[in-house]
Structure formats: structure tokens, C-alpha cells
Amino acid sequence: MNQLTKLALEMGPLILFFAVNATTNLMTATAVFVTATVVALVVSYVIARTIPVMPLIGGAFVIVFGGLTLYLDNDLFIKIKPTIVNLLFAAILFGGLIAGKLFLKLVLESAFKATDEGWRILTWRWSIFFVVLAVINEIVWRNFSTDIWVAFKVWGIMPLTMVFGMAQVPVLMKHQLPEKENGSSPA
């Protein structure tokens, strides 16, 4: 699957959530978000015959918390979803560090080759970042209108995550493992 298709499948439901909320209401936007997420997961599977772990986990949370929002007619559930997801990711990463496991390495090793020290540094940083995102989400949904929260969810959290991820490139570069040479050994 090419990167543009992958980006569209991952970001499409969130952008639809924002657009529908801007033109209707949160409940309708949540229904569209849940539906678009299911469609994106199915399309991802049809194209690649697999669903990447992170979109699958994120999709499951959208379906559960979006479903609770709609079923109980209570927007609390969709608003606390980012808090719970971010705290869960932080707990998994922190728990892995305590247990001597580098879960971030397991998820991203196919894309980046780094030393265990590099993965440990990245795991600490991402763990703390997820806690910070959870706190920010709590502050925004509790103190601002639903429309501002939705806009922040789409146009704040994603750019913050991308900037934070790009800021980690120096760690990856510093701890990058050398590429193995392809082909046969010299004779």
C-alpha cells in the first residue's frame, strides 16, 4: 500500500469527523467517524491483506467509545477516548520498560533499525508524550466548547504528534544501526 493511500485511510475518518461536526453536531459526527473507521479498516485489509497494529487498536477504541457515545447519547465517551488511549499507550510503554521489553521497538523495528539504548530513549520520550497528550485532552474538553475540542483533536493533536515524532529523528540517527550489505561476500 502506498503512503498516500495509507495516510488517507488513517486520517480520512478523523477529517470526516471534523467536517461533519462543523456542519451538523457531535452525535452525527461520531456516527460518521465510527462508520468511516470501519470502512477504512476494511479497505486497508482488502488492499494489503493485513491491518497494521496501530490503526487496528485506534479503530477498536473509536468503535467502542464512539459506540458508547451513540448508544448512551452521551458525548463524554468520545471526549475521554483520547485520554484513555494515550494513557494506555503510556502504561504499555512504561510497563515494557519495567519488564525489560522495548514494545516500541517491536512495533517500529521494520521501519527503523536502532540500538536498544536508542529504543529505550525513544520509549521514555513517547511514554511521557502520551501522558502529556492525555493531560492536554482533559484540559481542552473540560474547559472549552465541543467545537473547539473537535478542532483541537484534529488540528492540534495530529500536528503535535508529527512535530514530536520529527523531533525524535536525531535520536534515531545517533543510535541507528549500520545497514547490512546485500549480495554475496567478497571472494
3-state secondary structure of 112: coil
Residue 4 has pLDDT above 90, yes or no: no
Higher pLDDT, 122 or 52: 122
pLDDT higher than 60, residue 172 = yes
With a cut of 60, say whether residue 133 has pLDDT above it: yes
Q: What is the pLDDT of residue 17?
A: 94
CA–CA separation, 170 vs 54, rounded Å?
23
| Burial (CB count within 10 angstroms: exposed 0-12, middle 13-18, buried 19+), residue 88 | middle
pLDDT digits (tens, 9 = 90+) for 28-85: 999 999 999 999 999 999 998 888 777 888 899 999 999 999 999 999 999 999 999 9
Convert the pLDDT of each residue in 150-160 to its tens digit: 999 888 998 99
pTM summary value = 0.82
